[in-house]
């Protein structure tokens, strides 16, 4: 049993990505008759998507929860954002260095956001949903699949 856990730990280390910083942004998507916020974190060096999340609100508490989940997986790193008022306080609470995007960082995240929007454009940024009080599980599933595909494609290019 002990050997199994050592093998699993070494596999986890080998698949873990090197992260220099988090470049984060959010955009609005339409789900059914309502709008939700899509939160995206990417890494500037390998350009992989580190995390996607959706929320019905955009505020400091949602930003803090998103960053906290990112830290659990990838550790503490500097955070680059577009200056949204919800980020500085969330970063301060989590003891993360925060700065406004440089022109390169802004270009990277804006291209990534446009890439995601282009992929959802075929259904006009609209995830079909007829369920009342939907929990957005189908959106989460699609986004998880999208991240896996995108990151595998990026890995093959690099």
pLDDT at 125: 52
Return the bridge partners of 42, or none: 23, 49
This prediction's pTM? 0.79
pLDDT at 139: 80
Smallest Cα–Cα separation from 23: which of 106, 134, 114, 91? 106
pLDDT at 104: 92
pLDDT at 157: 66
Smallest Cα–Cα separation from 77: which of 147, 26, 18? 18
pLDDT in tens, the chain (158 residues): 443 434 344 444 434 568 899 999 999 988 777 788 999 999 998 889 999 999 999 999 999 999 999 999 999 999 999 989 999 999 999 999 999 999 999 999 999 999 888 887 665 555 666 677 777 788 888 888 888 888 888 776 65
pLDDT at 63: 97
CATH for 22-153 is 3.30.420.10
pLDDT at 124: 52
The Cα–Cα gap between 151 and 46 comes to 9
- Distance in angstroms between the alpha carbons of the first and the last residue of the chain: 36
pLDDT at 38: 93
* CA distances to 4, 22, 39, 77, 145 from 148, in Å: 26, 18, 16, 22, 5
Domain ranges of the chain: 22-153
């Amino acid at each position: 049993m002990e050997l199994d856990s050592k093998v699993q730990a070494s596999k986890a280390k080998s698949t873990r990505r090197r992260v220099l910083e988090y470049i984060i942004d959010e955009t609005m998507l339409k789900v059914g008759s309502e709008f939700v916020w899509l939160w995206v974190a990417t890494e500037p060096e390998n350009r992989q998507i580190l995390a996607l999340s959706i929320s019905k609100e955009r505020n400091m508490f949602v930003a803090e929860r998103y960053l906290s989940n990112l830290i659990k997986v990838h550790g503490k790193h500097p955070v680059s954002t577009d200056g949204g008022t919800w980020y500085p306080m969330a970063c301060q609470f989590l003891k993360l260095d925060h700065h406004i995007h440089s022109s390169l960082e802004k270009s990277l995240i804006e291209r990534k956001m446009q890439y995601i929007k282009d992929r959802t454009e075929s259904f006009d940024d609209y995830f079909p949903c007829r369920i009342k009080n939907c929990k957005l599980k189908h959106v989460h599933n699609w986004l998880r699949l999208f991240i896996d595909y995108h990151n595998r494609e990026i890995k093959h290019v690099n």
